[in-house]
Structure 1
């Protein structure tokens, strides 16, 4: 009976345009993060980790150091012939650094995000110059050409696609002439990726529920955020329809099976993150009761993902899992503070475990973990919906 009611509600949603009920309210860019001293030598997992200018300067060093680091590099491409082999910078003139394409994309996002939150960053001018050079219209034309190769139809689907849209969203909302210039430069690739999402999602009969890059719920979430921010109704409706088709009837997510050894995304929580966006409050309350009702318990606990070796590129994924769990807990607590406000403490615990290792990490984690830390802290700093 409950599933029939949910289905009826969702049919009503699909027949209407606009945002779902109770959207998360942004509290601004700079003011949304609490600035205070953080990370004492003996950090307890119950301490609140926040972001200040000093830490922002430290975090900015991670993308700055890898943005133009061409090697080591994981291209992840399908070769159509011998001529398809080339140097990373020739193949991806904008996004060749930071080990792989998607990490380079979200390294750019990290720098834009930090500049917006902290205009007084020590390397403000250097960052602006690097962004302007990297995201030139000529370089983006080269990226579009790569994606238009016959063999590149599925390239970076959907994780890299999602981060590209997140970067575009960040640039579009940056009230700075440089942000608007770079958003315009990026637009041809943004349009291509948007079209790829719209064409691909109706053909995906079953979601991918793993804890790594191909997780469908994660890709849908960032695509939805972009669509909402830019009022792209076509993309928004495709994402809503796909999410409801994939996840509406899911019950009793086996969260006790998590984490997997290489996870940096929680399969269960990733579904929660997209469904809180696409369902109105009444429908979401019904859905969460079937899917993961224990989240409502004030004594709900989830142990952090423990990393045994941070020099191993796969094992260090678990630091990323802690950050992504944290931003999902924070988002849920901010949207529905009366039911999920207690999850903020759990988000803090997850961030506090992994954050001390970000700046001092090796390249295996350093080329991408800073982004996850920044996003987790950004979400935790938003004000709850009243």
Structure 2
């Protein structure tokens, strides 16, 4: 399969996302009930992000749609994206999303994965230099502000990183958040960089005991991607060589070898397709820090291609993967 975001692939991803961002059921809700009055439907709790099986997948489903709409405005799905965005991204519905977050029980809702994706979405919408784009961006800003403030309150309390390969991974969250914060919130950007250095500056000789059975992120490579964003090129090169000192010898082999996905109808096992996609993204980001001809660049390029070849054909086909994998495929195919 092609490893570039051509018009045909953009259209395929857009059609897939349009098919699930308003699909309310099945739905996996993360919701604390304090009494029977809190038994509510996904659409009632989340007037914008009620589809795509869960809240965070709906958020990054919309990131996928807005990104493709900007990059391929002539695709057949563009009018449907525009109409649906105008229907859902309204001040009233943003207020509904904010009202849910104001519940005391929602303090940790979607932390940190959903927080970061919402800010990634906001950063994308802010790139749309059109009348409709500016309207959508203005409408979304209050919600982005809520999550930026949550990060500002949380990061000073976060003494330790979370290195798991699932939604709680803090390196992934900070890497996405910096796409928003570097442009729109310098105070948050400074906090993200400070946290990254506190957590990871002294990490050495990563063993990369991965993958686990349901990971969709590489704990090792996500850390490297974050540090590439945080450090100067020279400092990153030195850090990376200490972090993965045996890379030139093909070790850890686990980071260079795509994961096997034994059952794509199993939602957790299907995470491994996401791992292959996100590793492809990570390797492409990492090698962009090194000059052409550098051995590290060649090793990473081969690993990126292998991981994308293993996963791109499986982005659609079963809803357990289909409701979210296009976002990770798109991350991997964008220019680093």
> Do the two structures share a fold, i.e. TM-score over 0.5?
yes
| Displacement after TM superposition at 1:180 (Å) | 1.3
Candidates 294, 316, 330, aligned match of 2:284: 330
Aligned pairs (5 A) from 1:98-247? 98-230=52-184, 232-247=185-200
Choose between structure 1 and 2 for higher RCO, CA contacts under 8 A separated by at least 6 residues. 1
Candidates 281, 297, 304, aligned match of 1:347: 304
| Displacement after TM superposition at 1:356 (Å) | 0.8
| Displacement after TM superposition at 1:325 (Å) | 0.7
- Does residue 1:89 correspond to 2:43, yes or no? yes
Partner residue of 1:271?
A: 223
For residues 139 and 306 of structure 1, what CA distance do their matches in structure 2 show? Answer: 41
Q: Is the CA contact 2:25–2:53 (under 8 Å) kept in the aligned structure 1?
A: yes
Candidates 326, 330, 334, aligned match of 1:370: 326
Partner residue of 2:15?
A: 61
**C-alpha offsets along residues 232-270 of structure 1, whole Å, 9 cap, x if unaligned?**
210011001111111112121111x11111110000111
Q: Is the CA contact 2:48–2:89 (under 8 Å) kept in the aligned structure 1?
A: yes
Partner residue of 1:50?
A: 4
For residues 327 and 176 of structure 1, what CA distance do their matches in structure 2 show? Answer: 29
Indicate the SS of the match to 1:70: coil
- Does residue 1:292 correspond to 2:249, yes or no? no
For residues 312 and 337 of structure 1, what CA distance do their matches in structure 2 show? Answer: 41
For residues 372 and 155 of structure 1, what CA distance do their matches in structure 2 show? Answer: 22
| Displacement after TM superposition at 1:298 (Å) | 8.1
For residues 145 and 337 of structure 1, what CA distance do their matches in structure 2 show? Answer: 48
Structure 2 unaligned spans of 5+? none
| Displacement after TM superposition at 1:93 (Å) | 0.1
For residues 165 and 337 of structure 1, what CA distance do their matches in structure 2 show? Answer: 31
For residues 226 and 33 of structure 2, what CA distance do their matches in structure 1 show? Answer: 34
Q: Which moved more, 1:297-306 or 1:157-166?
A: 297-306
For residues 205 and 372 of structure 1, what CA distance do their matches in structure 2 show? Answer: 28
Indicate the SS of the match to 2:68: helix
Partner residue of 2:207?
A: 254
Indicate the SS of the match to 2:19: helix
Structure 1 unaligned spans of 5+? 1-38, 40-47
What's the C-alpha RMSD, in Å, of the aligned pairs?
1.4
Q: Is the CA contact 2:56–2:110 (under 8 Å) kept in the aligned structure 1?
A: yes
| Displacement after TM superposition at 1:299 (Å) | 5.4
TM-score, normalised to structure 2, is 0.95
| Displacement after TM superposition at 1:178 (Å) | 1.6
Q: Is the CA contact 2:233–2:289 (under 8 Å) kept in the aligned structure 1?
A: no
Indicate the SS of the match to 1:49: coil
TM-score, normalised to structure 1, is 0.83
| Displacement after TM superposition at 1:216 (Å) | 0.8
For residues 156 and 364 of structure 1, what CA distance do their matches in structure 2 show? Answer: 19
| Displacement after TM superposition at 1:308 (Å) | 0.3
- Does residue 1:280 correspond to 2:237, yes or no? no
| Displacement after TM superposition at 1:51 (Å) | 2.0
